[in-house]
Structure 1
Amino acid sequence: MDDVPDVATLVSGLVTDSSESARKYAVFKLQSLLSDPSFADSFIDADGLLPLRQVVLEAGGNTQAYGLGSLDALLELDKGWDAVDGALIERAVELAVTHPLVNIVRNALRLLVLVVSRPQRSGSESAEAFGFRAIKPALDNHPSFLESLVQRLSASDHTLCANALQLVNALMRDAVANGGEHEWPKFIKRLQDLGVIGGVGMLMRGDSGSDLGSPLAAAILEFQGLTKVLLRKWKEVRVDVELAEHKRALKTIHLLSKPEPYNPPEADGEIEGKGGRRHNPEKWRRLGFETESPAWEFDETGYLGMMDLVDYARRNEDGYQKTLMEQSVQPLEQRCPLAKASLSTTLILFEHFEIDDTADVEETGYRYSAQLSLDGHVNVDRLYRPLLLQWGRLHTAGVNTFLRLWKVAGAENEDFYKIEEVVRIIVERIVGAACRKTDVGKVEEDLRSVSLETARRWQIEGLDEVYEDAWGPHLVQVREQLHHESMQFMKEQRIRCLLQGSWFPTADSTSGAASVAWRYVRLSHNRRWLHYQNYPSKGDYEPALSALSEKLDLKSVTLVDSNVSTFEASPPSAPHINGNVLNSETLKENMTAHSDGLKADESNTSITITISSIAQRSKSRPSMGSNMTNGADEVTLFELFPQTSHTASEWLDGLLMLLNQQPITKNTTSLVEMMQNWGARLRMLNLRWEDVDWEALEMRVKGMKVEPKEVPSREGLEGEEYWYAMPDET
C-alpha cells in the first residue's frame, strides 16, 4: 500500500507545468484525502486552493475529472468556497452541457448541486453567492443547459442520473424558497415542459432506483417530496381575478366551453351598455359554479383547483363541451355541476396522496436521506408513488368518473356529497392499490370501468375499517360483547326449536323398510328431559308433551356427535364432550366439515345425530384430543335423522349449546356473525336495540321469508302528535 503523501508534495504536484502525470497523481489522491476536515484545513493553509481551481479550469480528461472531484470533496465540507467564482461556475455548466466523458459531467453536476444548495449566511455573503442566482449568468450563456440536464435523467450511469436529479431538486427547492411568488411557477412549468416528469417517472418504475441505499433512491424520493410541496404551494395561492394569469385561466375555462352568443330580447327598448351587448346571466353557473362570481369557490383548492380545471378542459376539450351541452338540457336539480366536481376531485387527490403531511421545502433535502438510512429495508413499492407525478391525468379520469356515476345513479343536487364520497372510495381502492410499475393508462381504464355497484360494495366493506380506526380498542370490546350476546340469542333460539319439537324418520324408514315409522321429539319445559314417541306416519300436527310417553334424561348424556364430518376428508380429531368447550382450531375444522355436509344432505336423509353416554372405567377423565373410547364403554342413547340441513343445524347445535358447548354448523355460526355485525352497526349509528324488528330477525333465523311491513297511514290524524297502537296480548 502506498504511503499517504504530505500536503506540500501534493500542492507542488498541482503547480508543476512539466509533468502532467504528477498533476494527475496529485488530484487523484486529493479526491479521497480532502474528505478529512483536518487534511482539508492543512491543504487550504498550504495555498493549494488556487492551483486546484486552475486544474479544473485548464486541464482535460481524467485530470480535470479528478480535479472536479477534489473540489467537490472540499465543498461538501463547506470549505474552499473562495475558489468558486463566476468563471468556475461557467466552466462547470459548459462541461455539463458539452463534454462527452461521463466522469467529468457527473463531477461538474455535483459541483453545481453544491453551489445551488449552499446555505446563505446573513451578512457574510452577497445574494449571488448561493442558489439559482449563482449559476443564472452561466445558464443565460448556455440556454440548452436545462434541456440537457433533463436528458441526463435517462443516462445509463446511475451516479450521473443521481447527480442530475439532485441538481433538478436543488433548483426546484431554491426556486420555491427564494424565487418569488410569481417566478417559481414559471420555472417549474419550464422544467415540466422539458419532460422532467416523464424522466423521473421512468426512474421510479425502473430497476435503477430499487436500491434504497443509493443516492439515486434518495434523489427520487426528494423529487417526490418536492412535488407534494409544489402542489401544496399551489393550493395555498389564493385565486385573484385581478391578476392577469388568474384572469387568463378563468377566460380559458370559459372559452373552451364554446359558449353560444347571448342575444336576449331587449327590455323596454333599452340596451345595456354602449355596444348593446349583454353577458349571459348564467355564464359561470352553466359551467358548474354556484354563483356568477366564481373566485371564492376556489378558496379550498386555491390556484391548484383552477389549474386542474383548466387542464381538464384542455385535455378533454370535446368531452368538456359535450358534457356541458348534455347538462344544459337536464332539469336544474339533475345537472351535475362540472366545475364543482372538478374541485372536489382535486381535494380527493390531495387527501389521498397526503399532501398536507409533507415536510417544508427546506427539509426535503436531508429528510429522505435520513429516512433511507433508517428504513433501508422498506419495500420500494411503498415509498415510490409515480402516479403522483401523473396528477393531471388522474384528475381528468377522476372527474369523468364523477360525471359517469352521477348519471348512472340518477343523482340530484342534494346527492352531490354522496357521489363525492363514492369517488373518494374508488380513488382509494384503485389508485391506492396500484404499485410503482402500474401504468397510468391501466389506472385510467379501471376508473372508467368501475361500476356503481362495485363502489357501493367497497363502501360497505370499508365501514368496519373506518370505525376500527376511529374507535380502536373500544370497537374490539364492543364486538366481543356483541359476540357473547349473539351466542346467547342463538342458544335461546336453538333451544326453543327443541322446545317446539320436530318430526324425524326412524332408522327403519331411512333404510327403506316397508313399514315407515316416524318419531316426534320434543324438549321438556324444564330442559332436563327429551320426550319422544314413535308413530306409524308423520302427522301434520304437533303432539302435546303429555302424549310423548318415552323420555331421555339429558343428565346422562355425555356426547353429542354427528356423521356430518364424514363429508370432510379429515374428520374431527375428538368428539364433543359435555362440559368441555371446543378450541378454535377444532371448531374451524368442524365448521368446514358441517358446511359441506349440510349442503350435501338436501336431497336425502343421510345425516345422523347420535346422542350417547360414556361410562368411564377409571376415575380420571381423559383430556380433550385423547381417544375417548379407551377405558370407557360408549352407549348410544338416541339417534335423530334430520331431513333438511336447517333442521340438522337446529337440533345438533341446539343440543350442543344446551350442554354448554359451542355450535359447529355453518348455518348457526353465520347467523351469529350476522347478528354481531348488525349489532356493531346499530351501536355505531347510535340506535337502540328496541328499534330492531326482532320479529323479522326471528323469521330470518328460522329461514322464513320476511315480508316488508306496511307503513301505517296518518290519514285522519290532526296536528303533529303521533301514537302507537299496541296489539292485544293473547
Structure 2
Amino acid sequence: MDSINVSELVERMGSNEDAVRKMAVFKLQSNIGDPSFADVFILEGGLSKLRNLVLHASGNTLAYSLTSFSRLLEVDKGWDFVNPDVVERTIVTVKQVVEQVVSQPLVNILRGAMSILVYIVSYPYAAGDRLSNPDNFGFRALKPAIAIHPQFLEMLVSKLSSADHALCANSMQLINSLMRDAITSDSESDWPKLVKRLQDLGVIDAVYDLMQSNAIQDLSQPLLEFQALTKVLLRKWRDLPVDLEKPDHRRALKMIHIAGNPEKPATPTENGNDDAHKKQQTPEKWRRLGFESESPGWEFENVGYLGMMDLSNYVRTMEDTFQKTLLEQASKSLHQRCPVARASLAVTSILVEHFEIDKADPDDAKFQLAFESKSNIDKIFRPLILKWSVLHTAGMQAFFRLWQTTSAEADDFVKIYDLVRILFEAVLGSALRTKGLPEVQKELAGFELPKLRQLQMELLELTYEDTWGQHLRQIKDELSHEALQFVKEQRIRCLLAGAWFPAVSNDDSERNGVPSLSSSFRYAKLSHNRRYLHVGDFETRGDADPAVETLPERIDLSTVTSVTSNVTAQTNHSDNSSTETLKTKQNGAPNTKITISGHLPSSRPNTASQSQSHDHSHSRNDSSAARPHHRKASHHQKEITLLTLHPQTQTLASEWLDGLLMLLNQQPITNETSKLIEMIKDYGLKIRLLNVRFDEMGDNGPGEGPEMPSREGVDEEFWYDDFGG
C-alpha cells in the first residue's frame, strides 16, 4: 500500500480513457485482497467506481474489475453494494453479472463473474444472523436474473467439462453454493425445482465423471463439497414425510399402483355403489404390490419421500420386470411371496445406512480434506453415491435373487434384509474411487450365497467381539474345552467299536525300508472299562467282528509310554491349509504305521505282543517325522514296542492315533481331528450368537438384562425369569 497512491488509483478508475482505467484496475486486483488496503480504498470512494466498471466495462477491464470485486467480497468488504439497504442496485448488479457470464466468452471474465456469484449466494450461509433481509441474498437473489436468462444454469453445467480446471472449479463452487442455499432454506418449493433442473441438465453425470478422473487433485474441494451436499439432499428427502394429501405424493403412489397392471374391477350393478364395489373387487390393492396393509402411507415412515422416489423410479425404469415379478409372486402362496414394495423400502434403508446419510453435514468437505493427505484422498471420495437410483435397482434384483435362492418365506424378510446389507458393505465398501459402475453391478448380481453367509458370521462374531470382549473370549475358551472333550469321546468310541488292520508278515522282511504286509488280518478293540487294548490275528476277516473275550492278547494301557506314527504333514499352498498324507509303498498301498511302545508289567508274564518287538527298529526309523508323546517311563524297565497297527485310510489313522493319545490324556496331533474340534467350536459359537439378540446386550454393554416387564393386566400366576442374570 505504501508504493501505491490509493487516491490516484481511484481517480484513474474514473478516467475517460479505457487504457488508463484498465491499468488502474489491473493494479487494484493485486492489492485489494489486503484488508487494510481495502478499507482505504472504500474510504476514498473507490467502491462506486469499481461497481460502475463491473456494470459497464468490457474486455480485460471488465475481467480485472470482476476479479477485484470478487477479492473485495472475499475479505468481507464491500457488502454495502449487495446490502438490503440498496436492494435495487443489488438486483441490477446480480443481473448484470449473470449477463456477463452468459454473453462473454473470455475465460477470465467467467472466472471473476462466477466468483462474485459464489460469494453472493453463499453470503447468507456465512453471515448468519447478520442479515436483516435474507431475501436479497442467496439463491433467491438470483432467481429474477435466472428467470431472464434461463440458459445460465445450462451454461454453468457445461463448464464442468472444461479443460480449464480453474474455470471448472468455479462452476462447481457456484453450483454448490446454489444447492447449499436452496436445500438449507425453509422454502419447500425452491430446492426441489432447482435440484430437478440441475439433474435434468446432467450435473450428476458430469460430477461423477470428474470424481473418477485424474483431475481429482485440482478439484478435490468443490467435488467433496458436492458429495457432502448430495448426502444432505438425500437426508432432506428422507426426512420429508409422505403425505397423501399432497398432490405430487398422491400422484407418485398412484403411478406405482397403475404400473403394477392391476386387474380392472367388474362393472358395478346399476343400483350398486361404485366406490364400495371397487373396494370389494380389489381387497388387496396395495398388499398385492408388497405393502403390509391397504394403507401404505405409514410404511414410508422410516425412509420418507426418498423411499417413495426410489420405488417410483424402480417401477418406472423397470416396469416390465416389476409386472413380471408381481405375476410370479401372485402364483405363490401368501407366506412365500417376496413383498416387492417392502423390499424397495428395505434397500433404500440399506443405502441410507451404508452412505451414512444421517451424518450428512455441508462442512464435511472442509474437515475431511484437513485430515486427509493427498495419498489417502481417494478414500474419502465415494462417487457411487451419485448413482443412487442405479444402486437401488441393483439392490432390488439382489433381494429377489437371495429370496429365491434361500427359498425364503414371509418370516425370513429380516434375514434377507441382513444379507443384502452385508452384500452392499462387501461390494460398495471395498470399491475404489475409479471402480466402474458396471463392475459394481456385476458383483452385486453374482455374489455367491455361501460367501455371503461366511461374511455374515464373521461380521456377527466381530460385532459381539467388540461388544462383549472378555465375555466372548471366555465363551470361546469354554467351547474349545467342550469341543475337545466331545471329540475325545468320539475318538475313544472308535476304539471301543474296534477296527481291522492288515498284519505284518511273519518273515519280517523289509524291502526299501517298507515292511511287507501278509494276507492275514489284525483286529484291535478297546475294552469297555477302557483299561486294556485287546488284539487278535486272523487268517481271514469274518463277516462279524470278534468279541473282546475271544481275542487272545491284551495290552494294559497303564504300561504304555508312547504312541508314535509316521503320518506326515503336507502343506497345500493354494489355501494355506495342512493335510496329513499316508505313506505308501511303491505299488500304491498305504503303509501308515502307528507304534505303541511301553514296558511289560512285572505282575504277569509277557504277552504275545512281545512277538511284535521286532518292529521296534522299524518304528524308530519310520516315525522320525512324527511327534512322539511320552508318558513318564520307569527308569528300571526298557521301553519296547508293544503293538504296531497299519491303518489303510486317513480317517482310520486319525481316529486310532488321536484316540490312543487322548485316551492317555495327551493332545491330538492330526489335522483331521484338529479341524473337527474347530468345526464343533465354531458351530457352538454361531449357535450361541444367533440365539442372542442385539437388544439383549443392554444400553451400556453386556451385563444389563432386558427391562423388567410390569404386571399390569396380568391376572394369573405368571412370573418373569431373567435368564441372562
Question: Offset at 1:246?
Answer: 1.9
- Conserved? CA contact 1:524–1:545, under 8 Å: no
Within 2, Cα distance between the matches of 1:388 and 1:205?
13
Of residues 178, 184, 187, the one that matches 2:194 is: 187
Question: Is structure 2 residue 223 aligned with structure 1 residue 223?
Answer: no
- Residue in structure 2 matched with residue 582 of structure 1 by the alignment: none
- Residue in structure 2 matched with residue 320 of structure 1 by the alignment: 322
Question: Is structure 2 residue 480 aligned with structure 1 residue 483?
Answer: yes
Helix, strand or coil at the partner of 1:595: strand
Question: Is structure 2 residue 166 aligned with structure 1 residue 169?
Answer: no
Q: Per the alignment, do residues 487 and 99 of structure 1 end up closer, same or farther by CA in structure 2, a change over 3 Å counting?
A: farther
- Residue in structure 2 matched with residue 719 of structure 1 by the alignment: none
- Residue in structure 2 matched with residue 41 of structure 1 by the alignment: 39
Long gaps (5+) in structure 2: 83-89, 599-637, 693-725
Helix, strand or coil at the partner of 1:684: helix
Deviates more, 1:528-537 or 1:141-150: 528-537
Helix, strand or coil at the partner of 1:270: coil
Helix, strand or coil at the partner of 2:214: coil
Q: Per the alignment, do residues 271 and 519 of structure 1 end up closer, same or farther by CA in structure 2, a change over 3 Å counting?
A: closer
Helix, strand or coil at the partner of 2:215: coil
Question: Is structure 2 residue 371 aligned with structure 1 residue 374?
Answer: yes
- Residue in structure 2 matched with residue 564 of structure 1 by the alignment: 568
Deviations 1:569-615 (A, max 9, x none): 99xxxxxxxxxxxxxxxxx99x72x43558999963233456789xx
Helix, strand or coil at the partner of 1:671: helix
Within 2, Cα distance between the matches of 1:368 and 1:350?
19
The share of aligned pairs that are identical, in percent, is 46
Question: Is structure 2 residue 345 aligned with structure 1 residue 340?
Answer: no
Q: Per the alignment, do residues 488 and 45 of structure 1 end up closer, same or farther by CA in structure 2, a change over 3 Å counting?
A: farther
Question: Offset at 1:112?
Answer: 1.1
- Residue in structure 1 matched with residue 105 of structure 2 by the alignment: 100
Question: Offset at 1:373?
Answer: 1.2
- Residue in structure 2 matched with residue 428 of structure 1 by the alignment: 425
Question: Offset at 1:369?
Answer: 1.4
Question: Offset at 1:454?
Answer: 6.3
Within 2, Cα distance between the matches of 1:159 and 1:642?
78
- Conserved? CA contact 2:658–2:673, under 8 Å: yes
Q: Per the alignment, do residues 501 and 144 of structure 1 end up closer, same or farther by CA in structure 2, a change over 3 Å counting?
A: same
- Residue in structure 1 matched with residue 133 of structure 2 by the alignment: 126
The one-letter amino acid paired with 2:356 is E
- Residue in structure 2 matched with residue 693 of structure 1 by the alignment: none
Within 1, Cα distance between the matches of 2:153 and 2:74?
23
Deviations 1:513-567 (A, max 9, x none): 485566666789999998878777778436569943667976855x9463514x5
Deviations 1:687-727 (A, max 9, x none): 9xxxxxxxxxxxxxxxxxxxxxxxxxxxxxxxxxxxxxxxx
The one-letter amino acid paired with 1:435 is L
Deviates more, 1:17-26 or 1:200-209: 17-26
Within 1, Cα distance between the matches of 2:144 and 2:587?
87
Within 1, Cα distance between the matches of 2:324 and 2:396?
14
Helix, strand or coil at the partner of 1:208: helix
Question: Offset at 1:149?
Answer: 1.0
Question: Offset at 1:377?
Answer: 5.0
- Residue in structure 1 matched with residue 259 of structure 2 by the alignment: 256
The one-letter amino acid paired with 1:666 is N
Deviates more, 1:404-413 or 1:233-242: 404-413
Within 2, Cα distance between the matches of 1:411 and 1:490?
34
Deviations 1:220-243 (A, max 9, x none): 222222222222222222222222
Question: Offset at 1:346?
Answer: 2.3
Within 2, Cα distance between the matches of 1:598 and 1:104?
85
The one-letter amino acid paired with 1:369 is K
Within 2, Cα distance between the matches of 1:321 and 1:201?
31
Report the count of equivalent residues: 636
Within 2, Cα distance between the matches of 1:393 and 1:286?
25
- Conserved? CA contact 2:10–2:41, under 8 Å: no
- Residue in structure 1 matched with residue 160 of structure 2 by the alignment: 153
Within 2, Cα distance between the matches of 1:600 and 1:447?
50
Of residues 688, 694, 702, the one that matches 1:683 is: 688
Q: Per the alignment, do residues 278 and 641 of structure 1 end up closer, same or farther by CA in structure 2, a change over 3 Å counting?
A: closer
Helix, strand or coil at the partner of 2:370: helix
**How does 1:239-254 map onto structure 2 within 5 Å?**
239-254=242-257
- Residue in structure 1 matched with residue 606 of structure 2 by the alignment: none
Long gaps (5+) in structure 1: 571-587, 614-633, 688-730
Deviations 1:240-286 (A, max 9, x none): 222222222233223334444422453xx622269998885434444
Question: Offset at 1:334?
Answer: 4.6
- Residue in structure 2 matched with residue 117 of structure 1 by the alignment: 122
Within 2, Cα distance between the matches of 1:342 and 1:15?
63
Question: Offset at 1:356?
Answer: 1.8
Within 1, Cα distance between the matches of 2:412 and 2:119?
54
Deviations 1:22-50 (A, max 9, x none): 76565555545444444443443444433
Within 1, Cα distance between the matches of 2:465 and 2:258?
48
Question: Offset at 1:20?
Answer: 6.4
- Conserved? CA contact 2:581–2:650, under 8 Å: no
Q: Give the TM-score normalised by the residue count of structure 1.
A: 0.74
Within 2, Cα distance between the matches of 1:637 and 1:28?
104
- Conserved? CA contact 1:397–1:448, under 8 Å: yes
Within 2, Cα distance between the matches of 1:406 and 1:528?
55
Question: Offset at 1:153?
Answer: 1.5
- Conserved? CA contact 1:56–1:64, under 8 Å: yes
- Conserved? CA contact 1:272–1:278, under 8 Å: no
- Conserved? CA contact 1:75–1:114, under 8 Å: yes
The one-letter amino acid paired with 2:381 is Y
Question: Offset at 1:310?
Answer: 2.1
Helix, strand or coil at the partner of 1:438: coil
Q: Per the alignment, do residues 176 and 496 of structure 1 end up closer, same or farther by CA in structure 2, a change over 3 Å counting?
A: same
Within 2, Cα distance between the matches of 1:265 and 1:18?
85
Within 1, Cα distance between the matches of 2:481 and 2:40?
78
**How does 1:263-282 map onto structure 2 within 5 Å?**
263-264=266-267, 266=269, 270-272=271-273, 280-282=281-283
Helix, strand or coil at the partner of 2:425: helix
Q: Per the alignment, do residues 285 and 273 of structure 1 end up closer, same or farther by CA in structure 2, a change over 3 Å counting?
A: same
The one-letter amino acid paired with 1:644 is T
- Residue in structure 2 matched with residue 619 of structure 1 by the alignment: none
Within 2, Cα distance between the matches of 1:179 and 1:146?
22
- Residue in structure 1 matched with residue 68 of structure 2 by the alignment: 70
Q: Per the alignment, do residues 333 and 505 of structure 1 end up closer, same or farther by CA in structure 2, a change over 3 Å counting?
A: closer
The one-letter amino acid paired with 2:13 is V
Question: Offset at 1:150?
Answer: 1.2
- Conserved? CA contact 1:500–1:522, under 8 Å: yes
Deviates more, 1:195-204 or 1:301-310: 301-310
- Residue in structure 2 matched with residue 303 of structure 1 by the alignment: 305
- Residue in structure 2 matched with residue 82 of structure 1 by the alignment: 80
The one-letter amino acid paired with 1:673 is E
Q: Per the alignment, do residues 637 and 331 of structure 1 end up closer, same or farther by CA in structure 2, a change over 3 Å counting?
A: closer
Of residues 354, 357, 371, the one that matches 2:356 is: 354
Question: Offset at 1:301?
Answer: 2.5
Q: Per the alignment, do residues 503 and 146 of structure 1 end up closer, same or farther by CA in structure 2, a change over 3 Å counting?
A: same
Within 1, Cα distance between the matches of 2:456 and 2:185?
44
Q: Per the alignment, do residues 325 and 500 of structure 1 end up closer, same or farther by CA in structure 2, a change over 3 Å counting?
A: closer
CA RMSD of aligned residues (A): 4.4
Within 2, Cα distance between the matches of 1:647 and 1:641?
10
Question: Offset at 1:391?
Answer: 2.0
Q: Per the alignment, do residues 549 and 357 of structure 1 end up closer, same or farther by CA in structure 2, a change over 3 Å counting?
A: same
The one-letter amino acid paired with 1:228 is K
Q: Per the alignment, do residues 532 and 664 of structure 1 end up closer, same or farther by CA in structure 2, a change over 3 Å counting?
A: same
- Residue in structure 1 matched with residue 289 of structure 2 by the alignment: 287
Deviations 1:166-217 (A, max 9, x none): 21121111112225123321221111111111111111222211x3xx5x22
Within 1, Cα distance between the matches of 2:528 and 2:323?
75
Of residues 228, 231, 235, the one that matches 1:232 is: 235
Q: Per the alignment, do residues 246 and 501 of structure 1 end up closer, same or farther by CA in structure 2, a change over 3 Å counting?
A: closer
Within 2, Cα distance between the matches of 1:487 and 1:445?
43
- Residue in structure 1 matched with residue 205 of structure 2 by the alignment: 198
The one-letter amino acid paired with 2:340 is L
